[in-house]
Amino acid sequence: MRIGHGIDVHRVSDDSTRELWLGLVLIPGASGLAGHSDADVATHALCDALLGAANLGDLGRHFPDTDPAFAGTSSRRLLELTMLLIAAQGLRVTSADVTIIAERPKLADFMAAMSDELSSVVGALVTVKATTVEGLGALGRVEGIGATAVALMEETR
């Protein structure tokens, strides 16, 4: 068995047309996050947890923000590519857990869909939760959104 942990934070974008994607789900009417890809912090944290458990580094190592090939890439694609890297190591995910850290928007209505979407790509249960930081710091001032994730994997060979 292997365990990995991931964390990601993105600031709110100055581009008012940018969409907010979290856990592979579009959150309508919310300010999007700045980033080279779609800036889905929940999925990025999950990718980092998976890569960490496989001893493969982090998301930036495999999909750097300096590579124009990944400009605007969906986090679904990054997670799919991460899963290919995991499989090549002879590993499979047994479960994962993601926590989104955001004052706004309220996410309760979207968490089941996030769990479903992430689980469908990962091939195992991915639970999704959300919390606030009670108004403290940059995330509390709604300057960005963060996420943490843990993943449990086992060897297949």
Write down the pTM of the prediction.
Answer: 0.97
Cross-sheet strand order for the sheet of 91-101: 2-11, 144-155, 91-101, 125-131
DSSP 110: T
Q: Supply the pLDDT for residue 89.
A: 96
Please report, for the domain that includes residue 77, its CATH number.
3.30.1330.50
Residue-number span of the structural domain to which 82 is assigned: 2-155
Q: Supply the pLDDT for residue 157.
A: 82
Q: What is the mean pLDDT of each run of 10 residues along the chain (157 residues)?
A: 97 96 97 96 98 96 92 95 97 98 97 98 98 96 97 94
Residues 27, 37: Cα–Cα separation, whole Å = 16
Number of separate domains in the chain: 1
Given a contact cutoff of 8 angstroms between Cβ atoms, the answer to whether 42 and 130 are in contact is no
CA diameter of the chain = 48
